Amino acid sequence: MKQRSDEHHLAEQLEKAGIRPSAQRVAIAGYVLSTADHPSADEVWQRVKTDFPMVSRATVYNTLQLFTEHGLLRQLVLAEGCVVFDPKVEPHHHFVDDATGAIEDIPWAALRVAKVDDLEGVDVREYMVVVRGRRRGKKAP
């Protein structure tokens, strides 16, 4: 069972971020702001429902969006099952344009990642740098 002080502290955290701490939002925060997982929206919904069965999916999705806008969460595009295909099969890095979502290749030699071999407890199969930002000097009209 969860302590009242936890909920109190969560409510304070939400208020500090400029978010009104409704019961639903506190329940969602209780899971998603402290987990070491990287859950999808539906996983958050499933989890929150176990001790708050009446919460709706729309509320969970809206709340995650709200938390993200207020800097309490970030969204990572890393969910398995949503893939794109790349005919360049040799190692390379990727740039994702914030404006368009377009994915561009960055040659392997253009960046260098140090200390990958020092990672403890993992057998590395591959790695890449994902850079996000904007193209400068958009094609002038």
Partner DNA sequence: GGTCTTTTTAGACTACGTCCAATTATCGGC
Partner DNA sequence: GCCGATAATTGGACGTAGTCTAAAAAGACC
Q: Residue 11: enclosing H or E segment and its boundaries?
A: helix 4-16
Q: x/- string (CB under 7 A) for DNA, residues 60-89? A: -xxx---------------x-xxx------
Q: Is residue 23 a contact residue for DNA (CB under 7 A)?
A: yes
Name the residue type at position 51: D
Cβ nearer to Zn ion, comparing 23 with 127: 127
The entry of a second copy, DNA, Zn ion, none that residue 12 binds, CB within 5 to 8 Å by partner kind:
none
- Exposure b/e, 72-107, CB count within 10 A at least 16 = b: bbeeeeeeeeeeeeeeeeeebbbbeeeeeeeeeeee
The entry of a second copy, DNA, Zn ion, none that residue 25 binds, CB within 5 to 8 Å by partner kind:
DNA
- Angle at which helix 41-51 crosses helix 23-32, to 10 degrees, equals 120
Least distance in angstroms from the C-beta of 96 to a second copy: 7
Among 17, 41, 72, 96, binds DNA (CB under 7 A): 41
Which stretches of the chain bind a second copy, using CB under 8 A?
32-41, 44, 64, 67-68, 71-89, 94-96, 98, 101-106, 110-116, 118-119, 121-137
Cβ nearer to DNA, comparing 78 with 124: 78
Rounded Cα distance between 67 and 61, Å, is 10
Taking a C-beta distance cutoff of 8 angstroms, is the pair 91, 128 a contact? yes
